[in-house]
Structure 1
Amino acid sequence: MSFSQGDELLCRHIGDPETPQLSKDGDIVLGGIFSFHSRWETKQNSYLHKPLPLQCIRYVELWIEINNSTDLLPGITLGYRMYDTCSSPARGVKVTLALANGNEEVFAPSEAPCTRPAQVQAIMGETSSSPCRAIATVTGPIYFPMISHFATCACLSDKVKYPSFLRTIPSDYYQSRALAQLVKHFGWTWVGAVRTNDDYGNNGMAIFIEAAEQLGICLEYSIYMFRTDPPEKIQKVVNVIKGSTSKVIVAFLSHMDMDVLIHQLSYHNMTGYQWVGSESWIFDSQIAVMDTHHILDGAIGVSIPEAHVSGMKEFILDVKPFISSGSKLFIEFWETLFSCKFNQSNLSDGNKKECTGDEDLFEIQNSFTDMSLMPIFNNVYKAVYAVAHALHNILGCNETCDNKTPLDPLTILQHIRKIRFKTKEGDEVYFNENGDPAAKYEIINWQPTQNGIADFVTVGLYDASLPTERQLYIEKNKTIIWTWNSLQVTTVPLSVCSEKCPPGTRKVLQKGKPVCCYDCIQCAEGEFNSVICEQCPPEFWSNEKRDACVKKETEFLSYEEIMGCLLTAASLFGTCMTCLVACIFFRYRKTPIVRANNAELSFLLLFSLTLCFLCSLTFIGQPSEWSCMLRHTAFGITFVLCISCVLGKTIVVLMAFRATLPGSNVMKWFGPVQQRLSVVGFTLIQVLICILWLTISPPYPFKNFKEFKDKIIIECALGSAIGFWAVLGYIGLLALLCFVLAFLARKLPDNFNEAKFITFSMLIFCAVWITFIPAYVSSPGKFSVAVEIFAILASSFGLLICIFVPKCYIILLKPEKNTKKNMMAKGAQKP
């Protein structure tokens, strides 16, 4: 605001002026915005009077060091102005404007505006993410450098929104992913999540959930809270945790919110949960001291790597000179540290002792004296030195610095982004394109000690610069204590929605629940595995437990099995029987009955029948390339040879009766030469069909996986189906022709009419092969082969028995009928 006073303008801020809690003049002044207090006093405004200033409560032990160095900024003194914001975004913005423009009332000439150069060159802070976002929104447009030591929200890496923001602590983007990998490492797939309801908690948890889903981790619940929430809302969080089934809780909370939650959980004695913590509270010794119910025993999480800054501890603990100076901030700090009050007589609280100022800091045990906050102090240390190095480069410092070089925020910001140096302890300090440092964390485990206070043990590391599979490292020689049994080493606790499916089963998701909740059902036949039922390879089948694939049993008609043995025996019996008949015919070849029935064709027929019986043996045994080609061609050719002989005999009978007619010379057209030629001709036609079949598409051995699920049927594929049915059709055609001719000659007047027996044999032959076709098509596997063998044997036995057994009967048992007179006699006449 400005108003006229004579010829000058009075420039001052609107509202109450902000006075720094700590300040020191110097050639170059740096600003500091910290949360010395964790809360502010809640007030109800009546809107009738001007609201009172924000009253901070609950002191937080935090301090910084600014070292003077002869090598860095020689001859230049660094001053500072530090403000306390109590983690209030509104107060953070207000003190930022005070740091940028100052609080003093300034008189300026009437023609001059109220704007002035910045009072500080850079700002260190703030501690929390939400205040940092508010402050960075103000400093960004004017490119005013701001370096935070503890604000981890990934949202602050957005250089479009926050172009002047940098930090010396890694972004929550990496922390959240580290937590997700940590949870996955220990096999926890069913977890709960609690977060702070601010930018730190909400953004961090969002990244964690995204990373967790990619790793197959499910959240049973994700709830939020804030330390200033009413008790009933905090109780609701407790109720959600109590009613859950998950035993692992990922807590993305600030240390102040964690403090509030632990108090409530302790009231309900809610032990037995495995806590996974963010860096904000996992290394906080103050929370460990206050956790008297051991709620957090066995907690594990990520923390800023432990730091050791030489001389820092001694400097921080040397507070007495500041107490003597009467600094209000340090007096309050001392009173909080030792639970006492200065000027006891002026206080109404008579329960607290009076502070003397000579109390010994080394006699108390808290996060301030044990230096558990050293990593945070180290981050502030790095931030200050980053600005100092940038100023050193801008001022062209060597032995001296050019004090006349003008400084502006944009130039300082550009130099800070480019700096790269190592601290005295060897830590490399630099900022990436997003203003973030390298992301490295320690894995911390809370292990109870004899004095009842947890000890923070480093059990692993996380380095985001390494490949994904190597980023998380858990030391194998370090003992990790878990929450279920903190007094002894135990196995990793289990937290899953559904137990892992046993081998041979698969997951079926439960309706309306996350993917981690499922039922296990047995894999189907032919499938195996424990996660996703996979189909076994074609030659394999699942075992009874469905946890492995075993080789399928191969099936074919073999000589070892009963059916194969019986068919083999039948084939050999038929062969022997045919040979016996041939021997009988050869022994009695000069008898009338043998001579009258065309001995030459009879012996050829017996030979072909022998081949027919033997060809059935080619169908037994494991099919091979040669056996497949042999069995069908041998069957086709031998049967045509057999039917050709029968057809020849039938024609001879017809011609013989025609020859008995007066003046008939028909036999000269179908004499022995013609008979031989007819047999050869009919057979050559079948040979030609078989050659074409074998040339174009021959039969081949084939593994049939479709007939049976758990067996492999090894069979002979036909190759060309046309070739197969052409062979079979030709046999049927000759058999039908033979049957018709024999049927026509069945009643010829002869005492021994062979046409009758041929008719019977052809009737059996045709009946067998007509019934063979549907039986062959419908029979599975080796049974189709057995049907084909049976058809061969049945038709062969039919021919052998019907044509030759009656003759053998007369030859052996009725020799009196085996005479020429008897053979030439006419059949009995009807009365």
Structure 2
Amino acid sequence: MIFALEEINNSTELLPGIRLGYQIYDSCASVPVAVHIAFHLSNGHDHIFYKDSNCSQSGVVMAAVGETGSTPSISMSRIFGPFHFPQVSHSASCACLSNKQQYPTFFRTIPSDQFQADALAKLVKHFGWTWIGAVRSDSDYGNNGMASFLAAAKKDGICVEYSESFDKTNSHRKIQKVADVIRSSTAMVVVAFIDSSDMRVLLEELARNPPPPRQWIGSEGWITDSFFTSYSFCEGSIGVAIQQSFIPGLRDFLLDLSPTEVAASSVLTEFWEDAFNCTLTKTISNRRMCDGTEDIKTLKNSYTNIFQLRMTNMVYKAVYAIAHAIHNALCQRTNLTIQCDKNIRLESKQVLSQLKKVNFSQNGYPVSFDANGDPVAFYELVNWQKSERGVIEVVAVGYYDASLPKGQEFQINKNITWVQGETQVPVSVCSESCPPGTHKVLQKGKPICCYDCIPCPEGEISNMTDSPDCLPCPSEYWPKAENDYCFPKPVEFLSFDEVLSIILAAFSIMGTCLAVITAVIFFHTRTTPIVRANNSELSFLLLFSLTLCFLCSLTFIGAPSKRSCMLRHTAFGIIFVLCISCVLGKTVVVLMAFKATLPGSNVMKWFGPPQQRLTVVSLTLIQVLICTVWLILSPPFPMKNLTTYKEKIILECALVVRSRKTSKRRYPNQSPELPQQPSFKAKEQWLYSELQL
């Protein structure tokens, strides 16, 4: 913060001629202390007035940078709100602070935890984890962050086996209970929405009896803390972190410490003594006296490593955001110069108004606030990987950018190391995926991620993994044995190359030959008394009709068509009536011949050849008329019988029109459904139904 203020005070573009001062307060991570500081700042004046030439306006506080934690920031913002006093936090990420009705003067340069929760949920879903555990800090940061994560996870179908909260001030029994839940759980993945101090307590407890392999998913509160990389069972941890950044000139500023500056500051004195393990005040007996040979440029620690800056850049941007707001309120560009009015008594309300409008870029890092006082969310995806030296390091492997189109926010550009150094993504599910051909059935009393895989019932399929239901195949399709695909049902009809057709054709031809041979014999012996006595005319007609009857059976072989259906039924009916008429005529003549032997009987004159011909013709014409009416009103048609056998289609001729509710598909058009038939073999049943009288 001091470095940023010195840059601003030395700038000719930002607030030229105006210097910004500062005071630093330590809240000691205590809400009461933070509240006390907030009341102190809200008074508008410090108890000490600074009247030297360096101060443009003595003692007037324009804005506050901080607090670090969400809970103290909430308390401070409730106090600042009524006074229109702007507060810009670099680290308070609780999503609750986006509520402008409750916190109208709160801004932050760190993204809201709502974005972090969405990013973590997308991360879990991306790797196919549906069964996870969750632990959180019992604070506004942990509780609100975890609530947002659980809501986002639920939308993505992710189930939580357990959700535990704790605080570093809890009893050892409470901490141990949380650790035991993690050890005994079946979830491979643990999402930890915890701040750094609470995570240290939890990992120390877990280190006493390391749990089975667990894949840790971390929030930005602890995932980049290098202290935790010493816990080997956390290798492969992955999480979201504040973007790594670089601030030019900061390293030289940090290393430019004179002994006079160190001695004048209690904070710098403590830092100096810890860094070089010596003492400046002789208060630490087991340390040597600092002799002045200590060179801060030789230090290699987190203080001098400015290439891993994350939260530091959030402070840097917060200071510049306030400076730009003050600049926009006091200064304006005239021609090629910038003029600032030093005589205006600036109020915090004006700074608040301008802070909502700031939009600039500093060292390549954009700074702006939306209507909720939040910046554009951008996170790095970091992974704990073991280096060649055998040391676990925090490595950036991707990013999450909320400004990108939906579905493209999450990007991974490097290989990830998983738990225990594995290269394969670990599996964390309550139940294994159900393969195609089965469907999920939830287990009673368990979350939706716990289910059994049940095979699809007959006639139904599921063609995707984890199908919730099975779908019936279309009427003309049937599932494969694996119930994962519908294929067209085999179509069956009495074809010429089948055994039954060959036998039927053989009998038909044999009968035809017998009838023809008999006719030839009758014709050859037509002048003999026995032939003449049998009414040779009706006998030849009978043999002709029998020949046609035998040949009619051939029309029942082959795929039914509209013409064949009309022919096979009507032709057989007419020819059969002709045959029966001839038999009837011959039988009546024989019967009457016996009655005509009585004295005085003249019955035979009514049953002579003309009457016999008339009888045969009349009965045949009646059948022809019946068949003609039938063909006009309700002709037979080819249809696909889908009901007799579920697994195949039988092509047959439909003789009766059913209602629309029971109709089945014709081919190529729609046809009625036949009533359910007895379960004989398909071809025998088909032949029986076609030939029965």
Q: Under a length normalisation based on structure 1, what TM-score does the superposition of the two structures give?
A: 0.74
- Quote the residue 1:279 is aligned against: 220
Q: Which residue is 1:422 aligned to?
A: 361
Instruction: Spell out the pairing of 1:102-181 with structure 2 (5 A cutoff).
Output: 119-181=60-122
Aligned counterparts of 2:369 and 2:150: Cα–Cα separation in 1: 27
Report the Cα distance in structure 1 between the residues aligned to 2:209 and 2:277, rounded to whole angstroms. Answer: 28
Moved more, 133-142 or 438-447: 133-142
Aligned CA distance change for structure 1 residues 365 and 193 (closer, same or farther; 3 Å):
farther
Q: Determine which of 297, 302, 306 is the counterpart of 2:240.
A: 302
Equivalent pair of 1:167/1:383 in contact (CA under 8 Å): yes
What's the counterpart of residue 654 of structure 2? 717
Q: Are the aligned partners of 2:245 and 2:308 in contact in 1 as well (CA < 8 Å)?
A: no
Is 1:194 paired with 2:130? no
1:443 corresponds to which letter in structure 2? L
Task: Give, in whole Å, the separation in 2 of the partners of 1:422 and 1:562.
Answer: 88
Deviation at 1:79? 0.9
Q: CA deviation at 1:676?
A: 3.0
> Structure 2 counterpart of 1:635, which letter?
F
Hey, what's the Cα distance between the residues in 2 that align with 1:531 and 1:104? 66
Once the two structures are TM-superposed, the CA of residue 332 in structure 1 deviates from its matched residue by 2.9
Query: Residues 460-609 of structure 1: matches in 2 within 5 Å?
Result: 460-475=398-413, 478-484=414-420, 486=421, 490-529=423-462, 530-532=465-467, 533-609=470-546
- Which stretch shifts more, 71-80 or 316-325? 316-325
1:210 corresponds in structure 2 to 151
Q: CA deviation at 1:651?
A: 3.5
What is the aligned-residue identity percentage? 52
Q: What's the CA shift for 1:77?
A: 0.6
Residue in 2 that maps onto 1:380? 315
Match of 1:234, as an amino acid?
Answer: I
Which structure has the bigger radius of gyration?
Answer: 1
Residues 211-241 of structure 1: per-residue CA shift (max 9 Å, x gap): 2222222211111121222222111111011
Partner of 1:787: 688
Equivalent residue for 1:83, pick from 25, 34, 47: 25
Given the superposition, is the C-alpha separation of residues 321 and 616 from structure 1 closer, same or farther in structure 2, using an over 3 Å criterion? Answer: farther
Q: Does 1:392 align with 2:327?
A: yes
- Amino acid of the structure 2 residue aligned with 1:79: G
CA contact (8 A) 1:100 1:118 kept: no
Query: Deviations for 1:661-708, whole angstroms, at most 9, x for unmatched residues?
Result: 555555554543443333333223333333333333332222223322
Amino acid of the structure 1 residue aligned with 2:339: T
**2 CA distance for matches of 1:656 and 1:322?**
155
1:401 aligns with 2:340: yes
1:698–1:720 CA contact under 8 A, matched in 2: no
Supply the distance in 2 between the matched residues of 1:149 and 1:695 (Cα, whole angstroms): 90
Report the AA paired with residue 582 of structure 1.
A
Letter in 2 for 1:382: K
For 1:609, what is the secondary structure of its paired residue?
helix
SS in 2 for 1:295: helix
Which residue matches 2:662? none
Alpha-carbon contact 1:101-1:119 (below 8 Å) kept? no
Change in 2 beyond 3 A, CA 1:674/1:778: farther
Deviation per residue, 1:743-792 (Å, 9 max, x gap): xxxxxxxxxxxxxxxxxxxxxxxxxxxxxxx9976646433222246647
Q: Which amino acid aligns with 1:515?
A: I
In 2, are the aligned partners of 1:715 and 1:782 still within 8 Å (CA)? Answer: no
Residues 85-94 or 247-256, more deviating: 85-94
Partner secondary structure for residue 67 of structure 1 = helix
Query: Do 1:442 and 1:461's aligned partners in 2 also have CA atoms closer than 8 Å?
Result: yes
> Shift in Å at residue 72 of structure 1?
0.6
Shift of residue 298, structure 1, vs aligned partner: 1.1
1:645 aligns to 2:546 (yes or no): no
Distance 1:494-1:105 versus aligned 2 partners, 3 A rule = closer
- 1:174–1:775 CA distance, 2 compared to 1 (3 A): closer
In structure 1, which of residues 601, 609, 615 is the aligned counterpart of residue 552 of structure 2?
615
Distance in 2, Cα, partners of 1:247 & 1:240: 12
Q: SS of 2:264's equivalent?
A: coil
Q: Distance in 1 between matches of 2:503 and 2:245?
A: 90
Aligned mates of 1:217, 1:354 — CA distance in 2: 59
How far apart, CA to CA, are the structure 1 residues paired with 2:286 and 2:396? 40
Amino acid in structure 1 at the alignment position of 2:351: I
1:241-298 deviations in whole A, cap 9, x for unaligned?
110112211111112212222222222234632111111222222333xx2x412211
SS in 2 for 1:126: coil
**Alignment partners' CA distance in 2, 1:643 and 1:211:** 84
> What is the CA distance between 1:417 and its match in structure 2?
1.0
Please say if 1:239 is aligned against 2:180: yes
Taking the aligned partners of 1:281 and 1:209, their CA distance within structure 2 comes to 19
Q: 1:691 aligns with which of 614, 628, 636?
A: 628
Amino acid of the residue matched to residue 503 of structure 2? Answer: L
For residues 396 and 558 of structure 1, do their structure 2 counterparts lie closer, same or farther at Cα, with a shift above 3 Å needed? same
Distance 1:86 1:581, change over 3 A: farther
* Displacement of 1:152: 1.3
Report the AA paired with residue 447 of structure 2. Answer: P
Q: CA deviation at 1:96?
A: 0.9
Match of 1:96 in 2: 38
Task: Report what 1:67 is aligned to.
Answer: 7
- C-alpha separation in 2, matches of 1:520 and 1:63: 62
Distance 1:204 1:471 in 2: 20
User: Cα RMSD (Å) of the superposition?
Assistant: 2.9
- CA change 1:358–1:100 in 2 (3 A) is farther
Corresponding residue for residue 707 of structure 1: 644
Q: Please name the residue that 1:327 is paired with.
A: 265
The partner residue of 1:440 within 378, 381, 384 is 378
Q: What residue ranges of structure 2 are gaps of 5+ in the alignment? A: 50-57, 660-674
Query: What is the SS of the residue equivalent to 1:468?
Result: coil
1:389/1:322 Cα in 2 relative to 1: closer, same or farther (>3 Å)?
A: farther
Q: Summarize the Cα distance change of 1:339–1:63 in structure 2 as closer, same or farther, 3 Å threshold.
A: farther
Contact in 2 for aligned 1:504/1:523 (Cα 8 Å): yes
Q: How many residues align?
A: 661
Kindly provide the CA deviation profile for residues 500-531 of structure 1, in whole angstroms up to 9, marking residues without a partner as x. Answer: 23443332222222222222233323333342
TM-score under structure 2 length normalisation: 0.88
Residue of structure 2 in register with 1:734 after alignment:
none
Q: CA deviation at 1:78?
A: 0.6
- Quote how far apart the aligned CAs of 1:450 are: 4.0
What is the SS of the residue equivalent to 1:714?
strand
